[in-house]
Every structure is written in C-alpha cells, then in structure tokens.
Amino acid sequence: MNEHCIANESLETTGFSYTLSLINGKYKMTILYTLMEFGVVRFNEMKKYISKISYKTLSSTLKELEADQLVNRKEYPQIPPKVEYSLTERGKSLIPILDGMCEWGDKNRL
C-alpha cells in the first residue's frame, strides 16, 4: 500500500506552487482580471483602471506576465506609440480560475 505522507512531499513540486509562481505579485491577478474583463487594453487605459499602480510597476508586471506567456503585447509602429495588451491562449486558460475567484468573492463578501 502506497501511503501519501506530508513528510515525503514538497510544496515546491506541486502544480499549485507553479501556478502561484506565475500569478503571485501585488498586481498580477488584477492585470489578468482586467484583460479578462475588457479583452484588448492599452497601457494608459489599464493605468487609469488600476489607479493605485505606478507606471513603473505596471510596466514591469506586464513584462513579467509577457515573459511567462500569459499576456500578449502588440506594438503599432506609429507616433505617438500605441501598445495593446491581451491575454494569450495560455492566459485565457486561467479564466475559469479567475471566474471562480470572482464568484467566491461575490458570495462571501461581508
């Protein structure tokens, strides 16, 4: 009989830990939620929507999400520069998780 014992396990090797490593950060979930709700969003629109985030933090967080292949960045060659962000297919696969969190929050809000 193969017994499942916590002493033999490591949190770092779980899918939960990997998922958390991708979405952990002060604004990552907020950015993903914004893109889920609004689809394609320009940088300044997102900054206005997430009013408390600094430009530097928004920029670096978007770069991290892009590096993790959760967010797509599309730059248009024009002046002034136009950049749009959207969820990649990989990012869209998080939508059921984000929806579940929204539903839970709506049901359990005090």
Rounded mean pLDDT, 68-92: 94
Per-residue pLDDT reduced to its tens digit, 6-54: 777 787 878 888 888 888 889 999 999 999 999 999 999 999 999 999 9
The pLDDT mean for the chain works out to: 90
Tell me if 41 sits within 8 A of 85, measured CB to CB: yes
Strand pairing class (71-76; 41-42): unpaired
pTM as predicted? 0.84
Give the span between the Cα atoms of 42 and 61, in whole angstroms: 14
